Structure 1
Amino acid sequence: MQTVEEIVGVMSSQGLRVTDQRRTLAGLFADTPGYLSPKDVYDYMGRTYSGLSFDTVYRNLRVMEELGVLEQVVFEDGVKFKLHCRETHHHHHMICLQCGRTHPITFCPMEQTKVPGDFTVVKHKFEVFGYCSSCSQEEPSAEGKA
């Protein structure tokens, strides 16, 4: 996990002005191991910064994602963000739908994808969703219910 100072350092090194709100955002993501929806972030920030608009929160999330501080993933219930993992090489993730824990996929499936000659890939994402061993053990089996 990255510290607030490490996150702030990345933002400032990329030319982003570090405001109190952005420092608070950095603290929120440094303390949160899983994914947060923009609404989660807005609700949290609204407790400290009255009058803060949802658009401002969302714009900051997008800027932080563009700088590589945050990762964005599209879940069935919408877009969520989490602190960018420390992996330096290109990789993808398996994501637990219950706790949000991620596990790296150590190879890139694009290498095995046949891309038509008239198509140029400029970027890609690949996520696998399921349940980690801890969360799947917490679920009572449907057979055991009467």
Structure 2
Amino acid sequence: MSEQGLRITDQRKTLAKLFAEAEGYLTAKDVYDEMGRSYSGLSFDTVYRNLRVLHELGVLEQFVFEDGIKFKVHCQEAHHHHHLICLQCEKTYPLVFCPMDTGCKVPDHFQVVKHKFEVFGYCQDCRTEQQT
């Protein structure tokens, strides 16, 4: 954050620590509720603005689930990839396949500058659990 000219505040340190210790995804409300215990007067707008900044800096990834937007620490894969996400336990697996690389037909008049592609389903553990 400091490399991008942002001040490192106690709130931002707490936010970074919260995501570093989180095992799964967090919603803005999760973050707001957790940080509100330590910072009275914290506004939801401040939380969301900081989440957006961390996403823009590439620190956090943002995912759209059926129940809303969730954030997670950016994965450490060095190459371009996508994700398989379990809808029950939210485990995330890298998917090295990219549909854009397989002849995805984009009209000539449209320039792609970025894209997202996630596949949602159930991991083997959760499928086995559902069957018992």
The answer on 1:61 being equivalent to 2:61 is no
| Equivalent residue in structure 1 for 2:119, among 105, 118, 128 | 128
TM-score by length of 2: 0.94
1:139 is displaced (CA, Å) by: 1.6
Name the structure 1 match of 2:105.
Answer: 114
CA-to-aligned-CA distance 1:33-79 (integer Å, 9 cap, x gap)? 21111101100010110110000000000000000000000111111
Name the structure 2 match of 1:3.
Answer: none
**Deviant stretches of 4+, over 3 Å:** none
What is the rounded CA distance, in whole Å, between the counterparts of 1:49 and 1:135 in structure 2? 37
Structure 1 unaligned spans of 5+ = 1-10, 142-146
What is the rounded CA distance, in whole Å, between the counterparts of 2:31 and 2:81 in structure 1? 26
What is the rounded CA distance, in whole Å, between the counterparts of 2:31 and 2:46 in structure 1? 11
1:140 is displaced (CA, Å) by: 4.1
Name the structure 2 match of 1:45.
Answer: 35
Give the alignment's Cα RMSD to 1 decimal.
1.1
TM-score by length of 1: 0.85
The secondary structure found in structure 2 opposite 1:74 is strand
| Equivalent residue in structure 2 for 1:83, among 73, 77, 82 | 73
Structure 2 unaligned spans of 5+ = none
| Equivalent residue in structure 1 for 2:130, among 111, 117, 139 | 139
What is the rounded CA distance, in whole Å, between the counterparts of 2:5 and 2:121 in structure 1? 37
